[in-house]
A and B are shown apart, each in its own frame.
Chain A
Amino acid sequence: MNIVVCIKQVPETSDVGWDPKAGTLLREGVGGILNHNDKHAIEAALQIRESHGGLITALSMGPPQAEDALREAMSMGIDKAVLLSDKRFAGADTLSTSYSLSLAIKKTGSFDLIICGKETSDGMTAQVGPQLAELLDLPQLTSATEIIIQKNSIRIRQKLEGSLRILETSLPALVTVEREINHPRIPAMDSIIKAYRDKDVQILSVEDLGGDIERFGLKGSPTQSRRVYTKEVRRGKVSILKGEPDEVADKLIQTLKLKGLL
């Protein structure tokens, strides 16, 4: 049972600035962390390996420092790590990212299952999973809150708005997991040390992947960000209601009544 887990390094805080002239984020000096949702994908893979054996590869794309996210994945117990890192991958949207990842997965060899987290905390698109499934011609099972592996098939519990479904398909397949599926383990100090000292992260460039050079990075991305800006959420001046709590409460209730809201 070989599993590929796709992960991403995301900025550790949402409190980053931006350059109004260039319209780009100022990410310098902002540290990167392993995307929280991806820890649930890693944990799901580890639990499957515990009962079915096999090898787990973590795959990521990003700048060289994204290696840290892969080391964190290895400290949790992932066997192997691959990072797609090349300036020509920069600016990739979800389709171009999925294309690059799909080539890497084909190169990595045989696999039975691909697991992705729900979405990243920066882009919040949840698109790479389904797009990767399409490019690898795999059935996709999204929003899983439980995974059951049988012989050559996989069953999940899928959470939709207002319903839960049990879906089944044959392997190989791609699954995206909800956070409620599990509680990611916290790596022990010695496994963190080992992940940094004894393990390698394989780095792949555009040349290593082969494929169509036109489909990588910004150039290979159908969507483009035209403008990034701060949103003025000001709507008009706020009226402050002042006085003792009882007075203020009365003022608010009278106001709501006047507006037909009570």
Chain B
Amino acid sequence: MSAMSLKDYRGLCVFVEQRDGRPARVSLELLGRGHTLADKLGVDVMAIFIGENVSEIAQEIIYWGADKVIIADDPIAREYRTEVYMNIITEQVLKERPEILLIGATAIGRDLAPRIAARLDTGCTADCTELDLDTEKRLIVATKPYFGRNLMADIICPSHRPQMVTVRPGVMELKTPDRERRGELVYVDVDLREEDIKVKVLDTVRSTSEGMSLVKADKVVAVGMGVGSREGFEQVKVLAELLGAQIGATNLPVDVGWISEDYKIGQTGKTIRPKLYIGCGVSGAIQHSAGMIHSELIVAINTDPKAEIFQFADYGIIEDVNEIVPALTKQLKIEREDVDSEAAR
């Protein structure tokens, strides 16, 4: 791509993923972050929204930060299929020429984005946790945890457009929608025929989205191998319940089968930013901390005073989890009984 043609690309585009007509939370996070970045570049935010009978909620996308929403509403797009979505998005990108294209790193986003990048012969940085700008060069700087201990890499795409990035759900702050915002809704025709689409969806089964509540939770209690045993783990679960917190885990408890993969927090799991995080026997290695470092208040319980988690925790307890957790549970139970008997009176 020549230097001249780079200038032909202006604006920031967010692909807004939906399921059952509801925009994915990560897409709303990206609209908020995208809006801030677009302001710095002095450009508009365009959103691409695809599905069947989804037009009604397109207006909402403007409230979350888009200036223009391109809507492809067609029966062929009822279920997500790579080929259908890729064709619609690449067509719009070639027409609108945004310099930046952001996509949430969900299973769908990670299926779709790399294929679009290959079709458009451009770069796509996968599964980023931070987005920034080099405003002078109009480059998006995408940061991702890199292989190795606490290593981060800043990735750029200097000479291809659009600069594509997939962003981890949960890492960008969810802004408040502005219902006063005005923008443009543009409906586009979908010029695809069912007989040309190679993949068929034979069935879709909603599975209880285990672990998704973890991403939204205000309070999270995470277990690491420092709990020592399955019994220790069960005790932490009781504590989590008393606190009204969701349970989560580092890699090892998942690997040994104490808890399902859906509850893993970190580089290969979920990213959370709760108001309260309590790490029980968690050492705080990057594999886990990459997914919880943005928690508002971090409490760490670990016997090892040198554990990495004490480098970034707000409150630390250097003690065996199996001593502290039962003590916490006991006191919380007493308090609850007090409240209950108070209420009964």
**Interface of A with B (CB < 8 Å)?**
11, 14-18, 25, 93-95, 98, 121-131, 133-135, 139-143, 155, 159-170, 180, 221-231, 233-236, 238-242, 245-246, 248-250, 252-253, 255-256, 259, 261-262
A231 in contact with B152 given A131-B114, A139-B198, A248-B317 (CB within 8 Å):
yes
List B322-344 residues whose CB lies under 8 Å from chain A: 323-324, 326-328, 330-332, 335
A-B contact count (CB 8 A): 237
Q: List 9 A-B contacts (CB under 8 A).
A: A25-B148, A122-B147, A126-B110, A143-B111, A164-B207, A166-B204, A240-B316, A249-B331, A253-B332
Whole-angstrom distance between the Cβ of B254 and the nearest chain A Cβ? 11
Contact across chains for B207 and A227 when beta carbons are under 8 A apart? no
Contact across chains for A131 and B152 when beta carbons are under 8 A apart? no
Q: A123-B126, A161-B212, A165-B204 are in contact. List 17 more A-B contacts (CB 8 A).
A: A14-B148, A93-B123, A124-B144, A126-B127, A130-B111, A155-B202, A162-B19, A162-B206, A165-B205, A167-B201, A169-B198, A226-B154, A228-B146, A228-B151, A230-B151, A231-B152, A253-B335
Contact across chains for B204 and A164 when beta carbons are under 8 A apart? yes
Of B19, B79, B118, B158, which contacts A135 at CB under 8 A? Answer: B118
Q: Which residue of B lies closest to A215 (CB)?
A: B121
* Residues on the A chain within 8 Å of B261, using CB: 180
Contact across chains for A223 and B317 when beta carbons are under 8 A apart? no
Interface size for B (C-beta < 8 A) is 89
Contact across chains for B198 and A170 when beta carbons are under 8 A apart? yes
- Candidate in A11, A227, A242 with the most chain B CB atoms within 10 angstroms: A227
Whole-angstrom distance between the Cβ of A151 and the nearest chain B Cβ? 15
* Residues on the B chain within 8 Å of A253, using CB: 328, 331-332, 335
A240 to B319, CA, bound (A): 11
A94 in contact with B332 given A164-B207, A231-B152 (CB within 8 Å):
no
B14, CB-defined interface residue at 8 Å: no
Contact across chains for A142 and B111 when beta carbons are under 8 A apart? yes
* Residues on the B chain within 8 Å of A140, using CB: 82, 111, 115
List B7-55 residues whose CB lies under 8 Å from chain A: 19
A95 to B212, CA, bound (A): 31
Q: Which residue of B lies closest to A13 (CB)?
A: B148
A164 in contact with B115 given A125-B127, A159-B107 (CB within 8 Å):
no
Of B117, B199, B206, which contacts A168 at CB under 8 A? Answer: B199
B153, CB-defined interface residue at 8 Å: yes
Contact across chains for A223 and B123 when beta carbons are under 8 A apart? yes
A143 to B109, CA, bound (A): 12
List B173-193 residues whose CB lies under 8 Å from chain A: none
- Candidate in B205, B316, B327, B332 with the most chain A CB atoms within 10 angstroms: B327
Contact across chains for A165 and B203 when beta carbons are under 8 A apart? yes
Contact across chains for A133 and B198 when beta carbons are under 8 A apart? no
* Residues on the A chain within 8 Å of B115, using CB: 130-131, 133-134, 140
A221 in contact with B107 given A130-B118, A141-B199, A233-B289 (CB within 8 Å):
no
A123 in contact with B147 given A165-B204, A253-B328 (CB within 8 Å):
yes
* Residues on the B chain within 8 Å of A93, using CB: 123
A21 to B118, CA, bound (A): 33
B150, CB-defined interface residue at 8 Å: yes
A226 in contact with B297 given A139-B83, A163-B207, A235-B312 (CB within 8 Å):
no
* Residues on the A chain within 8 Å of B145, using CB: 231
Contact across chains for A94 and B107 when beta carbons are under 8 A apart? no
Contact across chains for B327 and A245 when beta carbons are under 8 A apart? yes
A155 to B200, CA, bound (A): 9
A167 to B81, CA, bound (A): 9
Q: Which residue of B lies closest to A139 (CB)?
A: B198
B264, CB-defined interface residue at 8 Å: no
Whole-angstrom distance between the Cβ of B244 and the nearest chain A Cβ? 9
* Residues on the A chain within 8 Å of B153, using CB: 225, 227-228
Contact across chains for A14 and B327 when beta carbons are under 8 A apart? no
- Candidate in A122, A168, A236 with the most chain B CB atoms within 10 angstroms: A168
B246, CB-defined interface residue at 8 Å: no
A178 to B261, CA, bound (A): 12
A169 in contact with B123 given A225-B155, A252-B315 (CB within 8 Å):
no
Contact across chains for A166 and B201 when beta carbons are under 8 A apart? yes
Whole-angstrom distance between the Cβ of A211 and the nearest chain B Cβ? 14
Q: B140-171 interface mask toward A, CB cutoff 8 Å, 1 = contact, 0 = none?
A: 01001111111111111111100000000000
Whole-angstrom distance between the Cβ of B322 and the nearest chain A Cβ? 10
Whole-angstrom distance between the Cβ of A247 and the nearest chain B Cβ? 9
A180 to B260, CA, bound (A): 11
B230, CB-defined interface residue at 8 Å: no
A110 to B300, CA, bound (A): 56
Contact across chains for A249 and B328 when beta carbons are under 8 A apart? yes
B271, CB-defined interface residue at 8 Å: no
Contact across chains for A95 and B123 when beta carbons are under 8 A apart? yes
* Residues on the B chain within 8 Å of A164, using CB: 204-205, 207
Whole-angstrom distance between the Cβ of A20 and the nearest chain B Cβ? 11
Contact across chains for A261 and B276 when beta carbons are under 8 A apart? yes
A261 to B122, CA, bound (A): 46
Contact across chains for B146 and A248 when beta carbons are under 8 A apart? no
Whole-angstrom distance between the Cβ of A120 and the nearest chain B Cβ? 9
* Residues on the B chain within 8 Å of A252, using CB: 299, 315, 317, 328
B2, CB-defined interface residue at 8 Å: no
Contact across chains for B287 and A225 when beta carbons are under 8 A apart? no
A40 to B78, CA, bound (A): 32
A228 to B127, CA, bound (A): 16
Contact across chains for A11 and B147 when beta carbons are under 8 A apart? yes
Contact across chains for A130 and B107 when beta carbons are under 8 A apart? no
